[in-house]
Amino acid sequence: MDRRPIGVFDSGLGGLTAVRQLLRILPNEDILYFGDTGRVPYGNRGRDTIIRYARQDMRFLVRHDVKAVLAACGTVSSVAHDVGDALPIPFIDVLRPTAKAAARASKNRRIGVIGTSATIASGSYRRELLRLDPALTVAEQACPLFVPLVENGFVSPEEPVTRLVAERYLAPLREAGVDTLILGCTHFPIISGTIQAVMGPGVTLIDSGREAAEECRRLLAASGLLTDSASGGKHRFFVSDMTESFYGVAALCLGREVPGELEKIDIETV
C-alpha cells in the first residue's frame, strides 16, 4: 500500500471536477492539485507552448513525490500525452478512458466531441474513437468560450450568455444526430446543465473527469498503490494566480468548499 498523494493538474480550476470524483471514489487518498490559473486557458495556445506548460506542471507534481499523475486537462491529454507517458510513475489522461466510455455508451454509433480549440485541432478524440471502432461517425466542435465563461462564474443553467454560446456551438452536433457527447474538457461538466438542455434528453453526456478518476482508481488498484488508511485523505491545492472568483468557482467544481491547504506558486521557477 502507498500513502503518497495522487497528483492532479489542469490549466485552471476545471480539473477540480476530476478531483471531485476522486474524493468520491477514493476518499482515503491524499491529493495534490495544481491549477495553472495564471495561464488559463491552454486551449488557444500553440503546441510547443502547451508541451512546455505540461512539462512544468508534471515536474512540479513529481517533485512532491506523487505516486501517479492525472492530467485533468483535455488539451494536455490531446496534445502532450507523450510527456505524461514518459513519466517514471503511472500517468492517467482524460482522453483514452473517456473515448472508451463513449464508444460503449453510443447506440447509433454517432458520437460528438466538444473541447478547446487545441483539443479539437489535434484530432485526438477522433483517432482514438476510430481506433476503438472504425464504424463510428465522429462530429467535433471547438468551444473556446466555454472555459472563460466557467472561470468567470457564468455557470448557472439560467445564464443567458452561456446558453446563447452553447446554442451556437452545439447546433452542428444536434444536426449530426449524435446520441453521445464527450465533454472533452474538465471545465465543461460545470455547465453540463446548459449543454444537456441544448442537446436534449436523448443525448448521453460523457464526463471526462469522472472517467479519468475511475481509470485512476483501476490503475492504482491493479498496481497495488492504493492507500491502506481509512482515516480520510489530506488535500493540498496550488495555483499560479489567485483571482477574486477562485473560491466560488472552485466550490462549484468540487461541489463543496475547498478542503485542505491552498498556496500560490510561480510555476516558472519551482
Contact 8, 18 (CB under 8 A): yes
Q: Show me where the domains of the chain are located.
A: 6-93+210-264, 95-208
**Which tens digit of pLDDT belongs to each residue from 158-205?**
999 999 999 999 999 999 999 999 999 999 999 999 999 999 999 999
For 92, the enclosing helix (H) or strand (E) is strand 91-93
The least confident of 56-70, 176-190, 246-260 is 246-260
**Residue 27 exposed, middle or buried by CB count within 10 Å (0-12, 13-18, 19+):** exposed
The least confident of 40-54, 124-138, 221-235 is 221-235
Same fold, 6-93+210-264 and 95-208: yes
In this structure, whether the domain defined by 95-208 belongs to CATH 3.40.50.1860 is answered with yes
73 in catalytic set: yes
Start-to-end C-alpha separation, the chain: 29
Cell of 106: 453510443
Mean pLDDT computed over 13-32: 94
pLDDT-based confidence at 233, cuts 50/70/90?
confident
Percent of the chain beyond pLDDT 70?
100
185 in catalytic set: yes
CA 212 to each of CA 67, 97, 184: distance values in angstroms, whole numbers, following the listed order: 16, 6, 11
d(CA 233, CA 255): 17
Looking at 143, 185, 216, 253, which residue is catalytic?
A: 185
Alpha-carbon Rg for the chain, nearest whole angstrom, is 17
In this structure, how many other beta carbons lie within 10 angstroms of the beta carbon of residue 188?
27
What's the topology of domain 6-93+210-264?
Answer: Rossmann fold (3.40.50)
**Which tens digit of pLDDT belongs to each residue from 104-137?**
999 999 999 999 999 999 999 999 999 999 999 9
Looking at 73, 143, 216, 253, which residue is catalytic?
A: 73
**Residue 3 exposed, middle or buried by CB count within 10 Å (0-12, 13-18, 19+):** middle
pLDDT at 252: 86
Nearest CA-CA partner of 50 in 117, 4, 135, 139: 117
